[in-house]
Amino acid sequence: MDLSAINPVLLVASLMVAATPILLAAIGELVVEKAGVLNLGVEGMMITGAICGFAIAVETGSPWAGFIGAAAGGAALSLLFVLLTQLALANQVASGLGLTLFGLGFSALLGQSYVGVKPPATPKLEFLGLSDLSVIGPILFHHDLILYFGIVLVAAVWAALKYTRMGLILRAVGENHDAAHALGYKVVRIRILAILFGGACAGLGGAYVSLVRVPQWTEGMTAGIGWIALALVVFASWKPWRVLLGAYLFGGITVLQLNLQAAGVAIPVEYLAMSPYVVTILVLVILSADKSSAPASLGRIFHAAR
Amino acid sequence: MTETLLSLRGLTKAYPGVVANSNVSFDIGVGEIHALLGENGAGKSTLVKMIYGLVKPDSGTMVLRGKPFAPAEPRSARADGIAMVFQHFSLFDALNVAENIALGMETPPPMRDLARRIREVSEAYGLPLDPFRTVGDLSAGERQRVEIIRCLLQDPKLLIMDEPTSVLTPQEVQILFETLRKLSSEGTAILYISHKLEEIRSLCDHATVLRLGKNVGECVPRETSASEMAELMVGSALKTPQRAGRELGEVALDISGLSAASPSAFGTALKNVHLTVRKGEVLGIGGVAGNGQDELLGVLSGEILTAPDAVRLDGAPVGQMGPTARRKLGLLTAPEERLGHSAAPDMSLTENAMLTGSVRENLERNGFLKWGAAEDFARRIIEAFDVRTPGPDNAARSLSGGNLQKFVIGREVLQKPQVLVVNQPTWGVDASAASAIRQAILDLAAGGAAVVCISQDLDELMEISDRFAALNEGRLSTPRDAAGLTVEEIGLMMGGAHGMEVAHV
Amino acid sequence: MIVLEKRPQPSREWALATPLVAVLATMIVGGLLFGALGTNPLVAIRTIFWDPLFGEFAFYYRPQLLVKGAPLVLIAIGLSLGFKAGIWNIGAEGQYIIGALVGAGIGLAFYPLDAWYVFPLMVIGGAVGGWAWAMIPALLKVRFGTNEILVSLMLVYVAEQLLASMSLGLLKNPEGHGFPGSRNLADYPSATSWINQDVGLHWGVAFALIAVIFAYVLLNRHMLGFHIRLTGDAPRAARFAGVNPARLILFCLGASGALAGLAGLFEISGPAGQVSIDFNIGYGFTAIIVAFLGRLHPVGILLAGALMALTYIGGEIAQSQLGLPAAAIQVFQGMLLFFLLALDLLTNFRVRMRKSEVA
């Protein structure tokens, strides 16, 4: 066992990388849930984004085209969820589960010929002078664009929900869809847009796994982080900045257990590998007392009767 | 007559199986307070939804200030100066007052300016309101103020009010009327929906009466007696329930020092409630909605458990018992919400008969269900209470509100309770069903049962109660003999004006 | 303009017809998908749905139907109880693994003892293992209000790691020449679930049938089943009727966990034979589709389980004969669930065409 092999600076830097997929998916799902929709298909949209992004990046040679394609792929899968829950008024829990099962199969189908292929590298940004600083250089100024985009997205969602009329209407729809309808707001349209946004974010998060974090394609490679992202939204009490905090916490645990595995700690690998899931459960238990901030219409079906 | 603001011509709207409005025509003048009168289900709501752009008429036209008016959505109705105060479903509990008001406006000013204007307008009309309070924490009267101020900020030409006084104490009603008269004197027309005749007589300039979707007559309420209007509204003279003189027995239900937290986030906790009901007695409990009625019912039904001796039935402590154990002892209840609380919407009437009847009607043996017996029980309810339905196989939600309510009340009454507790037994029920339900309650008391009737309809309570008490913020006033109580006294028991002030006319 | 009108009560005809229509629609769209993958759609559909039953090698595939269908039905019956009450156990896969591990552990502990009580003890162990694993989300939900969906799912990943650990460590075959995986229970007569391997009959098949009958009686004739249905339709009305929500959660999650654990035990001591890293193949998740496809009705689940087993077997044949990718069949199953959920609309709503309203 050699704990000294763990470099704290690299640990923090890679923690941010590990956190980004969860962060992207969770902030998207937060918007969806704020609109009163519970989409349990995050895992399915992430894995779809992962393969779409991977395939497009490999075919075009451009990681950026890959990320755009991943967002489109995730949104396209969420469109199925839209059809089921917003138009066919199906149960959201069942539809979300279906989305995940379907996404896992669909991505495996698409990804057959991409197993073992190496994707084009996603370049890291270089900030003149800053990136070379010791400690904060690697931590803050030596990452790819998407990682920064994730953080900016959290800020943007926070500001939009708190300060804009669009955000107010979105919250109103999630809080009481009957009242919003009575005031003349297009409940279904607003929810569809929110679901598509959530799908795009999840797709982006998935592509971050396959293009940056791993980077390669294997079946089922998102390994439950879509579900962790869902748990994170509860953990964050539907508050954007807390999503960031939570994502970094889970990223930290993931990276730490990988580092401990590499360092050959006496704990069996399997027990280290299950730690992020166990921690997720523990955090859910600790925080589930506070349900007051959940949108009141979350998961309820809206049908404008008369 | 003054200049016409809005005229409706031949408005018709049909839904599958029902014609909600058929060829309805009338005019509303500028600054006029116009009553729209009718029973539940007469088509009042559909009509105003057409004016507000929520529903499109199948045929007919509207003319607003001489121009054709056909709002495609509430937004365009609002742009034309139409504003509406809803009875239900239009506030967002988790948002604050200013946010709620901003949502009802087309182009709200920045929050700080909006908050200032809310303060100005609310004071000018005697409806004080803090813009930054969370709406879920407000009382029913305060919530209504939010809606009214939301409308007033739009400077409306026509203000539609749907049953506004059902959530107010008599004192608050007087203050609201002052506000409305002030608005009317400033030139705002008001379309006032109600089925309360005395209110309409004291407030309105003109009344249109709807029955079964048709305009059946117009009148000037001040010159028309309440019974004439009632006949127009119902179409026939109504039987008032008969109460037989009866002997009161010993105490059947005894609540002492009961305090209980509410299970829901924006509910009201019960605080130190005392009451006793004797055999053969009807205790009426009034109060504005949201002052602890649901919680009081929950405490009695066994959905909210308390200390054992806080609730006593025939002297025995039952506070810790669940609903089934209480039913076995003869304490039966009927909650306010029909669909989803006292009945399961998608289940058949037979299954709904099983829901509370299994214990007292012997519908189960060792946990195994006797569906045949349950169906017989459902049939007996349908027959005894004249429930209009094709049969016991039909789902609860296929029944109209009044018929389902008769089924729910009938289900409890036929089980021969020692104590029956009902909450809002005639809410949203048409007049003939309501009178049948009241009669059933009185008959039950005459047979020696103790009855607690929680209601927001003061007329109903005065009609059937022996004694009266009111809930206010989770506290229960001391019960008093119902005979001889004045409206002022009742209003004070309900908490008076709740911090409202008279408009500075 | 298309308008949706809520029916006064759900249509019985559509409730029965939607699964059939969904299967047909899936065949059509799935056929198009196979066509896009370069396979003749008709051949693919025939290979999946016809050959396992009536094809040349049907004598080999028909027993497989029982082997694959039994765990699906057993798990789906358990899940349907909770789903009816709005309690979402989606971690059956984890309960299946733990049931198998506990049951197999008991069997391996007795090895090579020849005694009649070994297998019954394993059965009890399997049920208790799955039950205990499901009690984690159940107790957390009752005690802390934790979301059972997320907890039960997280526990699948934990269970997979435990499985890996066990097959590489504690339960590894000491005579296995260092290869991962336990001794083969199917070769240990006192511990195998096989009754007759040639016709695909093992104890899981028997238990699945018993579970179907048991669930049918429970839901239609017993107060507990009535309370489960009531809770799903109207939770407040259920509390009013006297249902204790906490007890119902414990029962539903516990029962589904125990049944999933049993399914795992029967699988590991029969068809799978040994504890190995890739022992679980997603029955716990496919059972969710089976439960919905069977409309949460015990008899429906029996039929749906048989159909789903057919797609598994047909998928394997298509894989070997037509070169269809294994994932295609997963997509096929997901699609089936989608069509079913979407078509459910017709049960509760009436779709009408109406001319655009004139305002």
pLDDT digits (tens, 9 = 90+) for C134-170: 999 999 999 998 889 989 999 999 999 999 999 888 8
Q: What is the pLDDT of residue A234?
A: 86
Q: Where are the domains of chain B?
A: 4-234, 251-345+421-493
Q: Which helix (H) or strand (E) holds C264?
A: helix C245-268
Rounded to an integer, the average pLDDT of C108-125 is: 93
Interchain CB distance below 8 Å, C233 and B346: yes
3-state SS, residue B162: strand
CA quadruple C179, C183, C184, C187: dihedral positive or negative?
Answer: positive
Q: Is 60 exceeded by the pLDDT of residue B501?
A: no
Q: Which domain holds residue C145?
A: 38-324
Please check whether residue C67 lies inside any domain of the structure.
yes
Among B18, B295, B341, most C C-beta atoms within 10 A, so best to mutate, is B341
Share of chain A above pLDDT 70, in %: 95
Please check whether residue C26 lies inside any domain of the structure.
no
Between C352 and B352, the higher pLDDT residue:
B352
Query: What mean pLDDT, rounded, does chain C reach?
Result: 90
**B71 at A interface, C-beta within 8 A:** no
Please check whether residue C49 lies inside any domain of the structure.
yes
Q: Which residues pair with B193 in a beta bridge?
A: B36, B162
Burial of B44 per CB tally in 10 Å (0-12, 13-18, 19+): buried
pLDDT digits (tens, 9 = 90+) for C307-322: 999 999 998 898 888 8
Q: What is the DSSP letter of B263?
A: S
Q: Is 60 exceeded by the pLDDT of residue C357?
A: no
Chain B to chain C Cβ contacts (< 8 Å)? 82
Query: What mean pLDDT, rounded, does chain B reach?
Result: 89
pLDDT digits (tens, 9 = 90+) for C20-46: 999 999 999 988 988 888 888 899 889
Please check whether residue C30 lies inside any domain of the structure.
no
Q: What is the pLDDT of residue B236?
A: 67
Rounded to an integer, the average pLDDT of B447-476 is: 91
pLDDT digits (tens, 9 = 90+) for B48-74: 999 999 889 999 999 999 899 999 888
Q: Report the C-alpha gap between C130 and B216 in whole angstroms.
A: 68
Rounded to an integer, the average pLDDT of C261-277 is: 93
HSE at residue B198, side-chain half, CA atoms within 13 A, is 7
**C165 at A interface, C-beta within 8 A:** yes
Closest among A90, A50, A81, A41 to A230, alpha carbons compared: A41
Q: Report the C-alpha gap between C101 and C170 in whole angstroms.
A: 11
Q: What is the pLDDT of residue B486?
A: 84
Q: Is 80 exceeded by the pLDDT of residue C354?
A: no
Between C159 and A97, the higher pLDDT residue:
C159
**A289 at B interface, C-beta within 8 A:** no
Note the CATH number of domain B251-345+421-493: 3.40.50.300
Q: What is the pLDDT of residue A169?
A: 95
Which range scores top for mean pLDDT: B257-261, B365-369, C74-78? C74-78
Rounded to an integer, the average pLDDT of A76-91 is: 92
Q: What is the pLDDT of residue B503?
A: 47
**Nearest residue on chain B to C235, judged by CA atoms?**
B340
Rounded to an integer, the average pLDDT of B252-267 is: 89
Please check whether residue C22 lies inside any domain of the structure.
no
Q: What is the pLDDT of residue C15?
A: 83
Q: Which candidate from A165, A171, A184 shows the least CB-CB separation from B75? A: A184
Q: Which candidate from C165, C330, C349 shows the least CB-CB separation from A108? A: C330
Interchain CB distance below 8 Å, A182 and B74: yes
Q: Is 90 exceeded by the pLDDT of residue B354?
A: yes
Q: Where are the domains of chain A?
A: 3-120+142-287
Please check whether residue C358 lies inside any domain of the structure.
no
Please check whether residue C338 lies inside any domain of the structure.
no
Do B4-234 and B251-345+421-493 share a fold? yes
Q: What is the pLDDT of residue B288?
A: 84
Interchain CB distance below 8 Å, B75 and A180: no
Of A47-56, A106-115, B490-499, C71-80, least confident by mean pLDDT is: B490-499
Q: Is 80 exceeded by the pLDDT of residue A134?
A: no
Q: Which candidate from C146, C326, C338 shows the least CB-CB separation from A288? A: C146
Of A287-291, B37-41, B159-163, least confident by mean pLDDT is: A287-291
Q: Which candidate from C9, C241, C244 shows the least CB-CB separation from B355? A: C241
Chain A to chain C Cβ contacts (< 8 Å)? 137
Going by pLDDT thresholds of 50, 70 and 90, the confidence category of residue A3 is low
Between B3 and C222, the higher pLDDT residue:
C222
pLDDT digits (tens, 9 = 90+) for A225-281: 999 999 899 888 899 999 999 999 889 988 888 888 888 788 888 898 899 899 989
pLDDT digits (tens, 9 = 90+) for C198-249: 888 999 999 999 999 999 999 999 999 999 999 999 999 999 999 999 999 9
Q: Report the C-alpha gap between A249 and A233 in whole angstroms.
A: 13
**C226 at A interface, C-beta within 8 A:** no
Between C158 and B248, the higher pLDDT residue:
C158
Give B362 to chain C, closest Cα distance, Å. Answer: 13
Q: Is 80 exceeded by the pLDDT of residue A292?
A: no
What single letter denotes the amino acid at residue C228? I
**Nearest residue on chain A to C285, judged by CA atoms?**
A101
**Nearest residue on chain C to B389, judged by CA atoms?**
C8
Main-chain phi, psi angles of B358, to 5 degrees = -60, -40
Rounded to an integer, the average pLDDT of C268-294 is: 91
Interchain CB distance below 8 Å, C341 and A277: no
**A166 at B interface, C-beta within 8 A:** no
Between B383 and B495, the higher pLDDT residue:
B383
CATH architecture of the domain A3-120+142-287 equals Orthogonal Bundle (1.10)
Q: Which helix (H) or strand (E) holds C167?
A: helix C148-168
Query: What mean pLDDT, rounded, does chain A reach?
Result: 89
Between C143 and B138, the higher pLDDT residue:
C143
3-state SS, residue C118: helix
3-state SS, residue B312: strand
First to last CA, chain C: 14
Q: Which candidate from C224, C240, C244 shows the least CB-CB separation from B301? A: C240
Q: What is the pLDDT of residue C359?
A: 34
Q: What is the pTM of this model?
A: 0.90
Between B495 and C52, the higher pLDDT residue:
C52
Between B148 and B500, the higher pLDDT residue:
B148
- Structure-token match 């009669």, residue found: B439
Rounded (10°) CA dihedral A297, B343, B435, B326: -110
Q: Residues C245, C246, C249, CA angle at the centre, nearest 5°?
A: 85
Rounded to an integer, the average pLDDT of C8-31 is: 87
Sort out which chain B residues have CB atoms less than 8 A from A171's CB and list them.
92, 94-95
Of A55-64, B36-45, B336-345, B457-466, least confident by mean pLDDT is: B36-45
Selecting from 1.10.490.10, 1.10.287.3510, 3.40.50.300, 3.40.50.2300, what CATH number does the domain B4-234 have? 3.40.50.300
Chains contacting B (3+ CB pairs below 8 angstroms):
A, C
What is the predicted ipTM? 0.88
Of A7-11, A105-109, B402-406, least confident by mean pLDDT is: A7-11
Contact B224, B208 (CB under 8 A): no
Contact C267, C71 (CB under 8 A): yes
Interchain CB distance below 8 Å, B73 and A176: no
Share of chain B above pLDDT 70, in %: 95
Please state the domain count of chain C: 1
Q: Which candidate from C136, C154, C342 shows the least CB-CB separation from A280? A: C154
Q: Is 80 exceeded by the pLDDT of residue B166?
A: no
Sort out which chain C residues have CB atoms less than 8 A from B358's CB and list them.
223
Sort out which chain A residues have CB atoms less than 8 A from C329's CB and list them.
105
